Amino acid sequence: MLSSLSSALSRLSTAVPSLLYISRMSASGRWWPQPHYELSRHRSRPPCPGIHRRTRCIVVDNSALGKEANTSGKLAYCIHVYKQGKRKKHMPHATLGDKILVAIRGEMRKAYVVGAKIHVLHRKHGVPSTDTNNIVLLDEEGNPLGTRILSPIPGKLLERRDKMQFSKVLALANKFV
């Protein structure tokens, strides 16, 4: 009986390492530690340098349309970027001060970007990054819909006062960062 038990244990001990060896093999060839997909470069998309199509934005003026969208939880999202640049045909990216077209509560409205989330790889010196993408809605003539801007906007935008429509937006702001 002892001999049969010892032979069974010896067979089990030889079988276990082979089972461990098989279980160590995974699709990536690593068994420990498991790959972190958020850190690996070959599995993640490159960070976006700005606002592009389908990017959700928060309206920071006190317009009725913006308040309704923010309180309902259905945020405005970008559907077009009015920008001339390197990528004007292939999904251009809007940054601070650019004009975009947004869909909000079933309507299409133009808006100016007054705050943008910026990835750590694309940050510029002197331009603060925010936790959200902030916009100010415009009417058909290009004037702001609201009468106040409720969040602070970057002081870098003061350099764009020469544009007539954008100077109206800057006049509504009372806090600059």
The dihedral sign for the CA sequence 67, 69, 72, 77: negative
The alpha helices in the chain, defined as continuous H runs, are: 2-24, 64-72, 164-172
| pLDDT for position 154 | 92
DSSP state of 161: T
pLDDT surpasses 50 at 51? yes
Q: What is the DSSP letter of 47?
A: P
3-state secondary structure of 94: strand
Rounded distance, CA 20 to CA 15, Å? 9
Q: What is the pLDDT of residues 4-29, one digit of tens each?
A: 666 665 665 555 554 444 444 445 55
Kindly report the pTM of this predicted structure.
Answer: 0.71
Return the bridge partners of 111, or none.
100, 137
Specify the residue for token string 């002892």: 2
Instruction: Provide mean pLDDT across the span 153-160.
Output: 88
What span, in angstroms and rounded, lies between the C-alpha atoms of 134 and 144? Answer: 14
Residue with tokens 């109206």: 168
Domain regions of the chain by residue span: 55-172
- Span 85-98, average pLDDT: 77
Q: Which residues pair with 134 in a beta bridge?
A: 58, 115
- Helices in 25-73 by DSSP H: which ranges? 64-72
Average pLDDT (125-146) is: 91
User: What is the CATH T-level fold of the domain 55-172, as seen in this structure?
Assistant: Ribosomal Protein L14 (2.40.150)
Nearest to 60 by CA among 9, 8, 116, 4: 116
**Structure tokens that stand for 5 in this block:** 């038990």
